[in-house]
Amino acid sequence: MLGLMMAEPLRVAGILEHAAKWHADTEIVARLPEGGIHRYTYAAAHRRAKQLAKALLRLGVAPGDRVGTLAWNTHRHFELYYGVAGIGAVCHTVNPRLFPEQLVYILNHAEDRLLFFDLTFLPLVERLAPICPQVEKWVLLAGPEHLPAQSALPGLCSYEDLLSAERADYAWPLFDENTACSLCYTSGTTDQPKGVLYSHRSTVLHALAACLPDSLGCAALDVIMPVVPMFHVNAWGLPYAAPIVGAKLVLPGAGMDSASLYELFESEGVTFSAGVPTIWLALLQFMREGHRQFSTLRRTVVGGSSCPPALMTAFEDELHVTITHAWGMTETSPLGTGARLTAKHKGLSAAESLPIRAKQGRVVYGVDMKIVDDEGIALPHNGMAFGDLLVRGPWVVRDYFGSGTPGELTADGWFRTGDVATIDPDGYMQITDRSKDVIKSGGEWISSIDLENLAISHPAVAEAAVIGVPSARWAERPLLIVVRRPGLDVSAKELLAFFKGKVARFCEPDAVEFVDQLPHTATGKLLKTQLRKDFAGYAVA
Ligand code: ADP
C-alpha cells in the first residue's frame, strides 16, 4: 500500500522559490570580481534566476545540456546554480585553479555548450576557447561595459545583457527528482578528474542534512560566508542550505586573501563560515600579525583535508572561533561526517575534548560507513583497527559521468572512498591517510596526517607535509618537508627531537627538508604527487 502524501518531486529551484517567498528581504551580499559590493535579496535573486532560465531557453539550452561556469562565489554564480538546474539543465562548476590541460580535459569531457566566466578569467578563456570547440557561447559574468573591445570568443556577450532582455514571468517546470542538476569533477589529487553528476533529489536531501545542528548547523540567525569556492563541491552545499533556513549569505568573490576576507567578515557581520585548512592557516597568521579579533564570527567548518588540532586550539583560544572538523569528498556531495560532541562529553574542557573534535567525526543521517580489510571483511569500531573506508547513501555517487566504466562500488553497493580510517566505539571516524599517501614501513602503516598535525603544532612550523621515501631496509620511511614560520628558525635536528615520545618510534620521520612553499592542488590540498616527484630518489642519510 502506498502512502497518501503529496508526491512533489524535490527540486533545486524549489529551494530558492521558498526563500523568495518566506525570507524575501534576507540579503545576499557579494564582492564583485570587477570591483565593488553587490547587495540584494532572496526575492530579487529569484526574479533574476527566472530571467536567466528564460534566456537559457531562448539560447536553445535543453534539459540535460551542460552549462559550464568558471566563476568565484558571487550572486551571479548563485543565480546560475538555480537558473540552469531549474530548467532541467546541468550546472557544471569548473575549478579555474586547475592546470590548463585538466581544464581542457574537463570542459571537453563534460561537453559544455555554454560557458559563463568571471572577468578575472578572461585571459584564461581566451586561451581555452580554441581548444574547446564544443562551447558555442561564452558569457562574461558582468555588465556590457566590461566586454573587451575585441575578442575571438564565439558568441561572446555579457550576462547582464542576457538577463535584461527577459522578464521574470516564468514558472519552474516539474520533473523527476532524479534528474541531474549539477556536475563537479574531482580535483584530480590522485588521478585524472572524474565527473560526479548530482541529482535534484541528492542535492536537496544533502542540503537539508547540512542544516542539521550536528552537521554544518545553519539557522536563520546566521550570516553565512562560504569561503570554500562554489566550484569546490558546490561550496559544500551552503548555497542551498542558506536559502533553506533563510540565512543571510555573504559571497567573497575573488577576494580570497586574508585581508579581503577579514574585511567582509567584519563589514557584513558574518557569524559562520567554512573552508579548507590552508585558508584558516593563512588567516590565523594575518590575525596574529595585526593583533586582530573577529567581532561576529563564532564558528567555522574545516574540511577537505585534515584540520590540524593546533589550528583548532589557536582559533578557539586566540580568536574565540570554534572550528568543527568535517570530512567529505566530491563523490559524497560532499558532507559525510562532522566532529561535534555528544551528551556524554558534557563537562569536558576544551583541551579534554580536543582529541575527539580533531577526528573527522560521526556520520550525518543519510550516510552510512564502514571500514574493511583487504578481503572486504568489516573491521571493529574500536578506534584502533584501520581499513578502507566505504560509504553509501542517497547523496553518494553511484557511477562517474561519462566514464563508460563502473564506479568505485563494491559488489554489495558501497563506494570505496580511497581513504584509510578508524572508527571508535562512539562512531567517530578518523582518517589515517589516503590509501595512496599512507607510508608502508616494514609491514607497519604510518599515518602521514598524524605526523603533519604534530609538526604543525611546533611554533616555528607554518606548514608541513610528510611523504614516504624509498628505504632498502623498510621499503618506505617518512620524510618531513617543512615551511618555517616567517622570522622563526628551527633546525632539522630540533624538529626530529620534537617527535620523540609523541609518536611510536617507528613512526618518527627519518629526515627533514625545508622549503619556501609547498605545492597545493586546485582545492588547496597538499599536492603529494608533486612532492613525491620532487623528492624522487631521496636518500635518507
Ligand atoms: P580530490 O579527491 O581530487 O582531492 P575531493 O575534494 O573530493 O577531491 O577530496 C576528497 C578527499 O579529501 C577525501 O577522500 C579525503 O582524502 C580528503 N579529505 C576531505 N576531508 C578531510 C578531512 N577532514 N580530513 C582528512 N582528509 C580529508
Strands (E) across 167-290 are located at: 180-185, 195-199, 223-226, 248-251, 272-275
The domain boundary residue, chosen from 275, 295, 322: 275
Beta-carbon contacts of 487 under 8 Å, excluding residues fewer than 6 positions away, are: none
Among this protein's residues, is 186 annotated catalytic?
Answer: yes
Q: Can you name the residues that pair with 521 across neighbouring β-strands?
A: none
Confidence band, pLDDT 50/70/90 cuts, at residue 101: confident
Residue 386 domain-assigned?
no
223: left (phi over 0), alpha (psi -120 to 50) or beta: beta
Cα(174) to centroid(ligand 1), Å:
34
Residue 299 domain-assigned?
no
Cα(30) to centroid(ligand 1), Å:
27
Burial of 238 (0-12, 13-18, 19+ CB in 10 A): buried
Cα(189) to centroid(ligand 1), Å:
9
Residue 352 domain-assigned?
no
Mean predicted confidence (pLDDT) in 509-529: 92
Cα(413) to centroid(ligand 1), Å:
21
- Please give the pLDDT value at position 405: 65
Residue 61 domain-assigned?
yes
Beta-carbon contacts of 359 under 8 Å, excluding residues fewer than 6 positions away, are: 325, 339, 424, 428, 429, 430
Does the pLDDT value for residue 299 go beyond 90?
Answer: yes
- The stretches of 363-483 forming alpha helices (DSSP H) are 448-456
Q: Which three cell numbers stand for residue 31?
A: 564582492
Confidence band, pLDDT 50/70/90 cuts, at residue 190: low
Residue 198 domain-assigned?
yes
- Please give the pLDDT value at position 523: 83
Does residue 432 line the site of ligand 1, with CB under 6 A? no
CB 423 within 8 A of CB 383: yes
- Please give the pLDDT value at position 266: 98
Rg (CA), the chain: 23
Does the pLDDT value for residue 212 go beyond 90?
Answer: yes
Does residue 447 line the site of ligand 1, with CB under 6 A? no
> pLDDT per residue over 424-433, tens digit each?
999 999 999 9
> pLDDT per residue over 57-67, tens digit each?
999 999 999 99
For the chain, what is the domain count? 2
Residue 355 domain-assigned?
no
> pLDDT per residue over 255-280, tens digit each?
999 999 999 999 999 999 999 999 99
The domain boundary residue, chosen from 275, 291, 311: 275
Q: Which CATH number is 450's domain given?
A: 3.30.300.30
- Please give the pLDDT value at position 445: 87
Does the pLDDT value for residue 149 go beyond 70?
Answer: yes
Report which protein residue has its CA nearest ligand 1's atom 21.
305
Residue 431 domain-assigned?
no
Q: Pick the catalytic residue: 296, 318, 440, 444?
A: 440
Q: Which CATH number is 124's domain given?
A: 3.40.50.12780
Report which protein residue has its CA nearest ligand 1's atom 5.
329
Of the candidates 350, 349, 363, the one whose C-alpha atom is nearest the C-alpha of residue 322 is 350
Structural domain for 109, as ranges: 12-275
> pLDDT per residue over 449-498, tens digit each?
999 999 999 999 999 999 999 888 888 999 999 999 988 999 999 999 99
Does the pLDDT value for residue 539 go beyond 70?
Answer: yes
How far, in Å, CA of 364 to CA of 359, rounded? 14
Confidence band, pLDDT 50/70/90 cuts, at residue 189: low
How far, in Å, CA of 34 to CA of 141, rounded? 9
Q: Can you name the residues that pair with 110 across neighbouring β-strands?
A: none
- Please give the pLDDT value at position 82: 98
Mean predicted confidence (pLDDT) in 346-365: 97
Does residue 304 line the site of ligand 1, with CB under 6 A? yes
Confidence band, pLDDT 50/70/90 cuts, at residue 193: confident
CB 55 within 8 A of CB 162: yes
Mean model confidence pLDDT for the chain: 95
- Please give the pLDDT value at position 541: 67
Does residue 430 line the site of ligand 1, with CB under 6 A? no
Q: Pick the catalytic residue: 79, 166, 268, 331?
A: 331
How far, in Å, CA of 209 to CA of 482, rounded? 38
Residue 291 domain-assigned?
no
Helix (H) or strand (E) holding 37: strand 37-41
How many Cβ atoms are within 10 Å of 209's Cβ, its own excluded?
A: 22
Beta-carbon contacts of 59 under 8 Å, excluding residues fewer than 6 positions away, are: 114, 137
Most confident of the ranges 87-91, 302-306, 536-540? 87-91
The domain boundary residue, chosen from 275, 294, 319: 275
- Cα three-residue angle 495-496-501, rounded to 5 degrees: 110
Does residue 187 line the site of ligand 1, with CB under 6 A? yes
Cα(304) to centroid(ligand 1), Å:
5
Does the pLDDT value for residue 187 go beyond 80?
Answer: no
Confidence band, pLDDT 50/70/90 cuts, at residue 406: low
Q: Which of 112-121, 129-138, 415-424, 528-537 has the lowest mean pLDDT?
A: 528-537
